[in-house]
Structure 1
């Protein structure tokens, strides 16, 4: 019984640890749009032209592959070169930020020696550590934000946008961080399941 309790608490701790490591994601969508009508998509460039397969950077290709995989898996959409239903655009931003940390502060435990005149002995009294308050500090961090936008190809109206922000280790997001952010965004892509 005791062994199963400790195993259960360990697994619960691991679940909470993994849940705290995933990036937070947010979405905005046009409630008047019927997303069940969409079956195909294509990527666009920043200036609005359809993107040809020319020399793309590796990070750009990782984002596109991750989004393509999630769209095919969650909604069954396929990438189309001609007459797509939805145009996709992405943006990646890595910026410096400040994270506030709060750490509890405790006093050091100590021992005092008293003399008891009635018993003529010295007595050691141990005082445990005590809570003294919190130590607040600012830690510089880098935050990476991935934004994915869906635009209706016929009306040129943005119908869905999802973004995810997470702490990153360097000036550029790694492929693992990109994959994690895209998955976090598409966990909220429930419009295809209607």
Structure 2
């Protein structure tokens, strides 16, 4: 029985490890606004401007972002409507190149040295452990994707909440998994369920 439990003890540790990894999110909100009065939302439609902008995303990416945000807002008790919403939503997506510096510690190789003692007439072996030498510094190019979600009060037109997260991405077009991870991390920190 003890062997059975020891085999499965690593599962919670693995879940904790994977849940702690992910993009770091940041939230800014207007502290004077009572968020409990917001119950419905709608997306701000794109007006077609900037179609030739090279940062303009395709329709699949836009659909994935909207779906991920809708899912998180519905979990928090919001309802999407086209008729007189309480808040308007917009998003911004930026993918840019960046560099990451790695500082890896470097240690010397441990070794053993033999000494002859004429007094005892035998050899003694002394172990020298590895020692810290310094850092091996390197740089690598990465692509970082930043998703910013804004909530705008429909009556006043004032931005009342904004959340954003940045994570390393594989290409200029974010996959649905990358979008889900970023949006989840934003709304995990937003804590809109308690409002």
- TM, length-normalised to structure 1: 0.82
Query: 1:142 touches 1:169 (CA, 8 Å); kept in 2?
Result: yes
Mapped partners of 1:127, 1:78: distance in 2: 67
Q: Which residue of 2 aligns with 1:53?
A: none
- Which residue, out of 54, 58, 67, partners 1:65? 67
Query: 1:35 touches 1:192 (CA, 8 Å); kept in 2?
Result: no
Q: Which residue of 2 aligns with 1:52?
A: none
Q: Which runs of 5+ in 2 are unaligned?
A: 50-57
5 Å-filtered alignment, 1:1-194, equals: 10=10, 13-47=13-47, 57-74=59-76, 76-194=77-195
Query: 1:23 touches 1:166 (CA, 8 Å); kept in 2?
Result: yes
CA RMSD of aligned residues (A): 2.7
Mapped partners of 1:43, 1:32: distance in 2: 23
- Write the deviation string for residues 36-88 of structure 1: whole angstroms up to 9, x where unpaired: 22221111134599xxxxxx7111111101111111111x1111112211110
- Write the deviation string for residues 112-137 of structure 1: whole angstroms up to 9, x where unpaired: 33333345545443322222222232
- TM, length-normalised to structure 2: 0.81
Q: Which runs of 5+ in 1 are unaligned?
A: 50-55
Mapped partners of 2:190, 2:48: distance in 1: 24
Equivalent residue pairs, number? 186
Alpha-carbon spacing, 1:189–1:118, altered in 2? closer, same or farther (3 Å): closer
